[in-house]
Amino acid sequence: MDPIQSVAPPLRGRAILSQDWLRVSFLHWRVPSDRVAPLLPAGTRPDEHDGSSWVGLIAFQMARFTIVPGPALPYIGDFPEINVRLYTVDDEGRRGVLFRSLEASRVVTVLGARTVMNVPYQWARMSIRRSGAAIDYRSTRLTGSRPSTHTVVRPTSETVVGDPLADFLTARWGMHTVLRGRTRFVPNEHEPWPLRRASLVSLDDELVAAGGLPGVASRPPDSVLYSPGVHARFAMPL
């Protein structure tokens, strides 16, 4: 396939949602594509870089969640989120992400996203704190088997520009989801990620295993990146 576009294509259709993603840490592991393929919806297959598929654990602060053209929603639109995601390409060549889980601390947001977009949001008790030069992310799910994660990442001053793997993992202009029995693509756009290298201080994670990939997060990630954030917009599903 062609290389990933590091700059978003024009948003297809009218924007319906916008949000800020702030203090974002990206942890990624290389995984064989045959482990990922059974977890993907019909009409999609694992997207690959350097002969492998990848699984991501992404932690950040959601802010200024807006139903366009309205104002940003107070309280329910500002919360920590941690998601487990895979990388997909569909039969039309559209590259996206497939969420295995999304932890969020606002139960109203969780219920709304699950109902409208059928994305697997989970209600959790969460926090994001500065710890010296590092950022400390914590989450414990409040339902089911209550998997948790505790991630501490230290951003560096080393910027990342023109790195094919970093572009593959972060420059994603849509997600795949299943709506009314059909796989749909939900496009998004945002400015190019301002990325920096980061080091993993510590990780104690159960979310990746709960997302169907046991054993992956027990080894060090193959990529750790950090971004202060971007402003994103979403259009109607295609």
Mean pLDDT, the chain, as a whole number? 94
Is 158:196 a contact under the CB 8 Å cutoff? Answer: yes
Parse the chain into domains and list their residue ranges.
15-235
Q: Confirm if 151 and 140 have CB atoms less than 8 A apart.
A: no
Mean pLDDT throughout 29-49?
97
Whether 119 shows a pLDDT value over 80: the answer reads yes
CATH number for the 15-235 domain, one of 3.40.50.720, 2.30.29.30, 3.40.50.620, 2.40.400.10?
A: 2.40.400.10
Q: What pLDDT is stored for residue 116 in this prediction?
A: 83
Average pLDDT over residues 189-214: 97
Q: Which residue has the higher pLDDT, 32 or 73?
A: 32
pLDDT given for residue 28 in this prediction: 98
16 Cβ partners below 8 Å, 6+ apart? 67, 68, 234, 235, 236
State the Cα angle at 80 between 74 and 84, rounded to 5°: 135
Which whole-number Å values give the CA distances from 11 to 8, 97, 98, in the listed order? 8, 16, 19
Q: Which contacts (CB < 8 Å, 24+ apart) does range 37-41 have?
A: 39/86, 39/98, 39/100, 39/212, 39/213, 40/86, 40/88, 40/98, 40/176, 41/98, 41/176, 41/177, 41/178, 41/183
Question: Letter for the amino acid at 68?
Answer: V
CB 72 within 8 A of CB 65: yes
pLDDT band for position 207 (cuts 50, 70, 90) = very high
pTM of the complete model? 0.95
- Judge whether residue 64 has pLDDT over 80: yes
What mean pLDDT do residues 137-147 have? 97
Identify the pLDDT of residue 113.
82
Which of 39, 48, 88 is CA-nearest to residue 210? 39
pLDDT band at 50 (very low <50, low <70, confident <90, very high): very high
Segment 160-196, tens digit of pLDDT: 999 999 999 999 999 999 999 999 999 999 999 999 9
